[in-house]
Structure 1
Amino acid sequence: MTTAPALIPELDDIVRRGDPKRRADAARRISELFLQGAANFRADHVDLFDGVLTSLVPHAELAARIDLAERLSLLANAPRHLVGQLAHEDEIAIAGPLLRRSPVIDERALIEIANEKGQGHLLAMAERPKLSIGLTDVLVRRGDRDVIRCAAGNAGAAFSDDSFSTLISRANMDGVLTLKIGRRDDLPPEHLKSLLAGSIDVIRRRLHDVVKPERQAEIKRALNEIDGITEHVPGGRDFAPAQRTILALHRAGGLNEAALLEFAKAFKYEECVAALAAMTGVKIATLDRLITGDRYDPILIASKTIGLEWVTVRALILMRLGPNRVVAPADIEGARVNFARLMPSTAQRVVDFWKSR
């Protein structure tokens, strides 16, 4: 191919030894040559431009690089290395258009950028027509509110089960995010139920009004299960009244550590277990079986994952033993030390195991 040298005969010398001004001018002229003929270039032609422009474009002015990135973002045969170079720029006005829509950036590069760059880059990627599970895992883990909302509302995005769980957890305090998640066609029924359980009535009604008819039927079934207290716990304890109490407390926005502490101080076992189940996501039957065992470890583990203070954990341990038991100070101190040493990540792994059983 001879067009580039013909346009700038001294190109090789400019690339090797040219001053920044000459390189910037060459970058502008070669970029324009490529953009004008891109539709007719073969792959080897594009590779030639790629090699030249990756050396010259960094010397171009900011406005020129912004314009080039915007125009390259629309081309299916844009120079791959040049696009990658521009997409890694810290300046979001340059990287943004390419991250939003360039078809030549592969998933590996996108994930690499998502792990390294800031929220502006993440938001641009969240707007891509298609988002892989690998990419959304990073967006959900690192993204702020705007990134999360954008990704959740992207019909072309795919999410892992863990990412859905994280989205739903973050939606508890975000009605806009709740509506975006609830309208997704790929939302599994069990996650829809969790989403609704953590939402206030006005958001539930709004979601019911905006989704498709088939999703409306799913919402009604899920709400019937939630309101009907369907979980049955084998054995002698009846948790249904406690579940209704906790559900009403949750809807009123009062299900928190202070409420749990009051239940524990009053030795209300069923309410404590039902509250811990709602706050950790572990089934009541599982928690009941664990807490009534020989050790207090399950209380420490569950409490650590939801960030309870020691005063509440201590009250739960005393509640488990009952109002007529005298506890040795050494035992309580041993529990305090173990709770302080327990890592949240370790506790969460155990709780995740309980959930899967």
Structure 2
Amino acid sequence: MASGASRLNQLLELAREGSPEARRDLLRQVTDLFMAPSGAHSVEALQHFEAILGQLAGNADQALRRETAERLADASSAPRGLITRFAHDDIAVAEPVLKRSTALGEDELIAIIALQNQGHINAIARRREVPASVADAIVEHGRETALMSLAKNQGAQFSPAAMRAMVARARKSPDLQAPMTGRYDLPPQLLTQLYFYVASPLKKEILHRSDMLDPALVDVAVKANRHRLMEELSGEPAETQEFISDAVQMNAVHETLLKRLIVEKRRREFQFAFAHFIGVDLSSGLAILSDASFEALAIACRTAGVERQNFARIVMASRKKGEDEARALRILDLYEKVPADAAERIMRFWRMRTEAAAGAARLARFIDDDEDDGPLTLTDGKR
């Protein structure tokens, strides 16, 4: 077939005037010409290709549109307008470009998710890479099939909010639990939440992942977390600094101290003492205390050997005003259901989750290789 802009103009005229059979044959020929490995096309040629292919595809039957979409899906320079048109077509046509075409940007994908049906959303969820903004849209608009595809897709990136939403959906959808458990980008606190309602085989998988952590490195991480905690203490009022520093120096950060701080309603001192006691940094300690399900708190207290009655005190003190007291009491049953050894294994994730802990663990590995009047709300900010 001859090349050049004049030939493309002739093809455009044929696309407008030819018979249906001729247009079908022409669509295949023009697609061949576009896909030919002869080098890059000029901007003018690409504009002609888009006009011709668009004209021809608009009059083609579904099977031929699918064939063309399949061939153009892997072309990085594919006409953007035509690819977008295919993406909004019936799913039989749209699927290859939704799954593979790099000509579709994040904004186009998000618009398609908002406007099209679940088949389109599911195809996007199966792309090689799914940016966090697109994953957010899938989580918002997708149903179980699309969410399953997204959860299984190791090329998908999740914002913290989307990851929390996926774990929340998994609570009610057993089919989502296995792929979510299998995600190694799942934050420790969410993996901890999954542990409580997944089936036994998945519980074992979660515990197995904790067994992959070197206990010696976890010990190093605990020391790094506590060092970081003391650095964070420097920004606190002098009274809090002095109290916690003295308790640490005297090795007096223990369960009895936590009980005393609850009774005396010394909120900020309790937060620091609790984090030090369980071996995490302050942000992780606050995350555990703020978990509305109290499940992370049950694990932390079980690991630290906190007595059930003191766990009950922490639960009741953590309860926000207006919360159902009966619900807070029911969570106490959870404490007995968490085996101590399982709690310890899960807690390793929390202790290894901070940058300070990870940095200290890396260093250790390198050295080793080389040689108010209402209920006290414990999760509030500074007093």
TM over 0.5: yes
Secondary structure of the residue aligned to 2:58 is helix
- CA RMSD of superposed structures (Å): 4.3
CA distance in 2, matches of 1:228, 1:27: 76
Matches within 5 A, 1:314-329: none
Structure-2 residue corresponding to 1:187: 186
Structure-2 residue corresponding to 1:136: 135
Q: CA deviation at 1:64?
A: 1.8
Secondary structure of the residue aligned to 2:140 is helix
Matches within 5 A, 1:170-249: 170-209=169-208, 213-214=212-213, 224=303, 231=315, 233=317, 242-243=329-330, 245-247=332-334
CA distance in 1, matches of 2:198, 2:315: 19
Structure 1, unmatched stretches of 5+, are 252-286, 291-353
Q: Residues 82 and 247 (structure 1 numbering): CA distance in 2 closer, same or farther, change over 3 Å?
A: same
Matches within 5 A, 1:1-357: 3=3, 10-18=10-18, 20-37=20-37, 39-90=39-90, 92-209=91-208, 213-214=212-213, 224=303, 231=315, 233=317, 242-243=329-330, 245-247=332-334
CA distance in 2, matches of 1:215, 1:165: 27
Q: TM-score, normalised by structure 2?
A: 0.55
Q: TM-score, normalised by structure 1?
A: 0.58
CA distance in 1, matches of 2:198, 2:58: 49
- CA-to-partner distance for each residue in 1:179-201, whole Å, 9 max, x for gaps? 32223232222222222233344
2:139–2:166 CA contact under 8 A, matched in 1 = yes
CA distance in 1, matches of 2:64, 2:207: 48
2:9–2:48 CA contact under 8 A, matched in 1 = no
CA distance in 2, matches of 1:29, 1:143: 38
1:5–1:11 CA contact under 8 A, matched in 2 = no
Q: CA deviation at 1:231?
A: 4.6
CA distance in 1, matches of 2:118, 2:214: 32
Q: CA deviation at 1:106?
A: 0.8
Please identify runs of 4+ aligned residues in structure 1 that moved more than 4 A.
4-10, 15-22, 37-40, 220-232, 238-241, 243-246, 248-251, 287-290
Structure-1 residue corresponding to 2:283: none
Q: CA deviation at 1:97?
A: 0.8
CA distance in 2, matches of 1:240, 1:201: 25
Q: CA deviation at 1:249?
A: 10
Q: CA deviation at 1:63?
A: 2.0
1:25–1:60 CA contact under 8 A, matched in 2 = no
Q: Residues 8 and 141 (structure 1 numbering): CA distance in 2 closer, same or farther, change over 3 Å?
A: closer
CA distance in 1, matches of 2:20, 2:41: 28
Q: Say which is worse superposed, 170-179 or 56-65, in terms of deviation.
A: 170-179
1:110–1:135 CA contact under 8 A, matched in 2 = yes
Structure-1 residue corresponding to 2:241: none
Larger RCO (CA within 8 A; separation ≥ 6): 2
